[in-house]
Structure 1
């Protein structure tokens, strides 16, 4: 393999890992960042020795977390490389075929072969998996993959890439995880990017041009890629918390040593009230992160929501701590010699990598708004006597009753504080920190002014005083990012998810569903959060039954039917039934404010609404005629053949300004 790690010897005689890209004169890394992995440690503690459980079926989180924390306090970039290797290894250990593992797992465990994650694409963030434009098409027994991935940590060192690729299958797209050797024909690793931080680790993109994928390279099954990558991201996010914890502790050390020796006009800096407030906050944040991290690492299964909360809180705390450290040290902090500048640059990445904080908080908040009980159950299991769950429920209920989806990010923060509150000791400084943060967040949300659109008129005028953006970019970048390039226009955007292999216009959404029902009637079609499953055959029967009831209710082609149900199997059944009768589907969210739901119903001229006994109570007064989804119906024949060019769904362009008229639009059925 092209990225086999070599052994080299440090000045002190200890072994250290080598590779194709090392810090020094021949790399992009400045000499100050030449802090190599494994220096001064025994061979068994080098990067190459993977931390796996005794059974060898997964990564050993406790030992990996301890190592990541220690390395995070030295060089976060190298710690990130360690974590990425183990995150990718987790996918291979848990989902790799016997053939794959017999070929490569020993070399991966020993560190002779290094792995990397390849998810993000040049024009698509890793948090938008549905927007991936790379693809793999069937070719005999194999698949042929093409596309590009970007921002891959350690790409030039990697022997393998764990890659998420949309497989073009009959009827659509199946997101699939595959293991791609870096020396496969058609794989091109791009030169390392010139980054703001992470100078000790090469980060670059990779291009796939007609790369052949055999069955042994598929991790899990075709279509299970989100679950596979989810396991890898879980490891990465937990370890991001460990790296951040190391940075927090190092920042506190630097601040206190400097402040204890620095004399200012009022005396010793360490006695200054501003400094003491800062260092007290940082140590409380350290205690909170440490408590959550130690709780997580003792559990066999960790919910994604908890890992999201840890990653967000720890990375935000660490970034603020490095800023405080630089401010405390003054101009000395701004110099490379103190080490603060490198910590600040490197830890900034943790707020972006493994999912940007805003995206993760929004995801967390949306789950709370949708009445997902995962966080509540986790908190109750850890601290049954805590009032955190009831307080969180009250806050979520209050904010979602009168506010729009724009508060999902804020709801995510309330979820983070509630999770931390469940693991810190009562009466501790960490507990007081969380309580204060909770109240400040409530005040901030209540006092926040409404977001307007004045900036749309203001921004073009800024060029009068600072010049055009194109002038700035041409002076500061040898190669302008394609997204910022002045020639980028609408023609290069909005690429279809599945490309030219997408189903033709003659296929409607429900046609595709019923075709799958005919192919695999006994396969599992839906599984909701409670574990309830229904087969494709049952899906068709339920959808036909509801479709007949809709037709009996007088619903005809082109009528707008609202579906006002929680995110479970009934919502999918109702959506298919509405399309089945040729009606226009309008999805209504029970978590949205009543006023927004009322205005959407009025603007779309909804004729009837499918609800259940729980959601009907949330509907506005004078809502159209109801069809209760809990009722029964008899399966029947196909009700209506829809025109694929007709509108299947009504969509609203502005989720926050629902008083505007004529903002609804209809899309085609194909």
Structure 2
């Protein structure tokens, strides 16, 4: 049995173009993504060709300006595309989110010359990006990073190690935060590092609980020379760039979480409607039907929350607090719904014959990446108290 959606989720979309885009995404997911997800996950195969297919369909550049090769779509639409992709396969949905995150620095803070030179290639569909902020000893406390970029003539010499890098060793470019000045947030800068640079290497992929098809690896910078013209923004602007990117990236994680939760609910509803006990489907039993009702309600609430935050972003309003709320609620929802889906399936939910156990393992990482949910609570609390 596989989880599939017999009918699309009822969505309020801003244009006919957006509706067509969602229909295209759904069709690609049903034809190119969902059918291969279980087998590729079991074999830990990275679906690079799937990203090329999505890129050629214009799905790797949606929220960026058309003059640079982007899709000119509002975040409200882009996030719903992400949800559809993650519903079919989280490794793909999260991968698109990370690629979008990795383009954010150049698109938002690069000079006009930099954007015209490099952004079309990054958005064109053939390249895949990675975002390098975390380090082995610098996770939630990102301002304590140690990777250095020392200026030598017209090049920066970058040395250090980045950790937990999605697409590490498989990306075509790395948006990298490195220290060009003193300790603290003001000494951090952003460099656009091309893959294949001499001295840049990837460690073996991490052995993770889930997301086996999505490579996560440390990246080693051993005297990597990066042209000065690849500095994005001015020196010392990197931490500001990183935080701005993470606000948007957290909305991507929220959308992916709702995609996984919806897949888990769909599987649970399908199973409950066909599994017979005591002479009738188990969905007829109040205890189980109430469980399904709570799962569906949380999903709808999470979807409304991330879309409300996206609309604030699209309107040019502050959305840091709302992004943190969406990331917190949606990822907690994904974990709760996936766990409940395993319970609905009973013993079968604990086997690899059904995707429920995979949804549960995948949901867990969403509570951790791009700021743990404890950090989200810290962000929300500081906004509430004005600190």
CA change 1:32–1:334 in 2 (3 A) is farther
- SS across alignment from 1:133: coil
Report the counterpart of residue 313 of structure 1 in structure 2.
329
Aligned with 1:120 (options 116, 121, 134) = 134
TM-score, normalised to structure 1's length?
0.48
Preserved CA contact (<8 Å) 1:72 1:247: yes
Preserved CA contact (<8 Å) 2:127 2:171: yes
Matched, 1:109 2:131: no
Report the counterpart of residue 242 of structure 2 in structure 1.
229
Matched, 1:167 2:203: no
Q: Distance in 2 between matches of 1:273 and 1:170?
A: 59
Q: Distance in 2 between matches of 1:74 and 1:24?
A: 10
CA change 1:346–1:37 in 2 (3 A) is farther
Report the counterpart of residue 325 of structure 1 in structure 2.
341
State the Cα deviation string for residues 296-343 of structure 1 (Å, max 9, x = none). 333323421110110010000011100100111012112223211222
| Higher helix fraction (1 or 2) | 2
In structure 2, the gaps of 5 or more residues are 1-27
Instruction: State the Cα distance separating 1:37 from its structure 2 match.
Output: 6.8
State the Cα deviation string for residues 238-276 of structure 1 (Å, max 9, x = none). 111111111121111111111122223484311223212
Preserved CA contact (<8 Å) 2:309 2:326: no
Report the counterpart of residue 64 of structure 2 in structure 1.
52
Report the counterpart of residue 30 of structure 1 in structure 2.
42
Aligned with 2:167 (options 154, 157, 162) = 154
Q: Distance in 1 between matches of 2:185 and 2:297?
A: 50
Matched, 1:133 2:149: no
CA change 1:303–1:24 in 2 (3 A) is closer
Aligned with 2:303 (options 290, 294, 318) = 290
In structure 1, the gaps of 5 or more residues are 1-11, 373-566, 568-670
- SS across alignment from 1:158: coil
Instruction: State the Cα distance separating 1:210 from its structure 2 match.
Output: 1.4
Report the counterpart of residue 189 of structure 1 in structure 2.
202
State the Cα deviation string for residues 527-568 of structure 1 (Å, max 9, x = none). xxxxxxxxxxxxxxxxxxxxxxxxxxxxxxxxxxxxxxxx6x
Matched, 1:362 2:374: no
- SS across alignment from 1:298: helix
Matched, 1:208 2:240: no
Q: Distance in 2 between matches of 1:225 and 1:113?
A: 23
Matched, 1:92 2:122: no
Q: Distance in 2 between matches of 1:36 and 1:188?
A: 19
Point out the more displaced range, 264-273 or 198-207: 264-273
User: Cα RMSD between the aligned structures?
Assistant: 3.2
Aligned residues: 352
Structure with more relative contact order (C-alpha pairs < 8 Å, separation 6 or more)? 2
Report the counterpart of residue 144 of structure 1 in structure 2.
157
Aligned with 1:77 (options 91, 99, 121) = 91
Preserved CA contact (<8 Å) 2:169 2:201: no
Preserved CA contact (<8 Å) 1:115 1:161: yes
TM-score, normalised to structure 2's length?
0.81
Preserved CA contact (<8 Å) 1:24 1:30: yes
Preserved CA contact (<8 Å) 1:50 1:111: no
